[in-house]
Structure formats: structure tokens, C-alpha cells
Amino acid sequence: METVLFVLSGWWWVAPAAAGVGAATYAGLTMKGRRARRLALDAARHQEAGAYRTLVQTRAATRTARAEHRAERSRSGMMSSQTLEAKRELQRAKRAHTSATLELRAQRARVKAAAEQYSTSSRADPLPVEKLHAAHDEVIARWLPYEVDAEKVLSYPGMTDPRHPATLAFLRAQREAQRLRPAAGGRVSPPQFIEYQAAVRTLEETFAEAERRHGDGLSRTAARRP
């Protein structure tokens, strides 16, 4: 009952949002004007609608698993292998439903934060896509010295060696972020913004991990030297 009330509390806008989720829903948002500044908020709402749909699906799956577990108990008894497997499936469905409930709550918090940020933003502030461009460019600017600075190339050879797993993960993230990067002044839909946002976040994380791995390795090598 608590889950149902929780879902209904936010239903006032999810219904129209969920009804228009296809690619045709967003014909593209021009990078000028109010809609461009609202892009991060629209993207957060788009994700919330997806989280709500997932919650509905997991709730239905839990009901189905519960019914199958009861049916197996009546057919095969409490300790049969079929009943035990049905019980495990029910437990998995319950865990998925709990996870979906928590994710919807998190998404609603993100919508609230995005709405507050949008309401307090001004025309002088960078647009949401411009902020992602800046974060993307910052990582690339931090990585370039490992390729062109002779001292860093010699000190951290692993940072450009794709045979190292951490470096390979970063290079793949770099390629994916570049692939998804919207053109400056182009049209960006909320789903495209979400994909690019996730790619930039992965790029930041993999770069930090590559620096940590290679930096730690260099420190250990230096410590072993007489």
C-alpha cells in the first residue's frame, strides 16, 4: 500500500510524460531560448518517467512470481525443487521492485534539484549542454599532456598504452563521449542529453581511475628504488 501511495503522489505529471516518450515526442530542442535552458529539467523528467515504468513492470512481475509460487506450493508441496525455484524467483522479483522504488525516489529528487536550478538560472549562465561540453573538454585537456608532454610520457607511459585495462576503459569512454557529443548550436533532445551526460560521467570516472592506477604504480616503483 505504501508503494502505491508513493507512486500516486507523483502521478500528476508522469502520465503525460510517459505518454509521449518516443523519439517523435521531442522533435529537437533548439539551443536558443527557454527550452534549451530547460533541457536538463526535461531530461530529468524523462528519466523519472522511465523509472516509473520500470516500477510498474517490477510490481507486475512480483505479482506474477507470487502467484506462481503459490501455484507450485499447491501442486508440488512446500519442499519440491519447483517450489523452491519459484520462491527464489519471487525473492528476485521483490528485490527488483525494491530497487525500482528507490530509483524512482532518486529520480524525483533529481527532478526537484533540476527544477530548482532551472528556476534560479539566468541568461548569463551556460546552457546545460554547454556545461557538459565544458566538463568533457576539461577531461581532454587533462589527458593531452600525457600524450604531448615528454616528461609525463616518460613518467606515465601506461596512460597512453591501450594494453592496460584502465587506459583501454578510458580510451573507449573517450571515443563514446565524442560520438555522442552534440554539435555546438545544434538540436538536442532529452534522451540525447541523457546519453551524453552519462558518457561524460563515465569519461570522468575512467580518467580518474586510469590516473589512480598509473600514479599508484609509479609511486610503488619509486619506493622500491634504492
Q: Is pLDDT above 60 for 16? A: no
Please state, in angstroms and rounded to a whole number, the distance separating the CA atoms of residues 45 and 59.
21
Number of structural domains the chain divides into: 2
Mean pLDDT of 15-41: 56
Among 120, 153, 184, the domain boundary falls at: 120
Compute the mean pLDDT over every residue in the chain, rounded to the nearest whole number.
83
Residues in Cβ contact with 50 at an 8 Å cutoff, skipping those fewer than 6 apart:
21
Q: What is the pLDDT of residues 90-119, one digit of tens each?
A: 999 999 999 999 999 999 999 999 999 999
Mean pLDDT of 12-33: 41
Mean pLDDT of 131-146: 95
Q: Please tell me which residue, 7 or 184, carries the higher pLDDT value.
A: 184
Q: How high is the pLDDT of residue 7?
A: 41
Among 58, 91, 120, the domain boundary falls at: 120
Q: How high is the pLDDT of residue 32?
A: 55
Residues in Cβ contact with 86 at an 8 Å cutoff, skipping those fewer than 6 apart:
65, 68, 69, 71, 72, 73
Tell whether 66 and 111 lie within a shared domain.
yes
The whole domain housing 139 covers: 128-224
Three cell numbers, residue 125: 549562465
Q: Are 99 and 50 in contact (CB under 8 A)?
A: no
Mean pLDDT of 142-157: 90
Q: How high is the pLDDT of residue 174?
A: 97
Q: How high is the pLDDT of residue 216?
A: 52
Please state, in angstroms and rounded to a whole number, the distance separating the CA atoms of residues 154 and 141.
18
Tell whether 142 and 68 lie within a shared domain.
no
Tell whether 13 and 112 lie within a shared domain.
yes
Q: How high is the pLDDT of residue 184?
A: 80
Tell whether 96 and 25 lie within a shared domain.
yes
Confidence of residue 46 (pLDDT cuts 50, 70, 90): very high
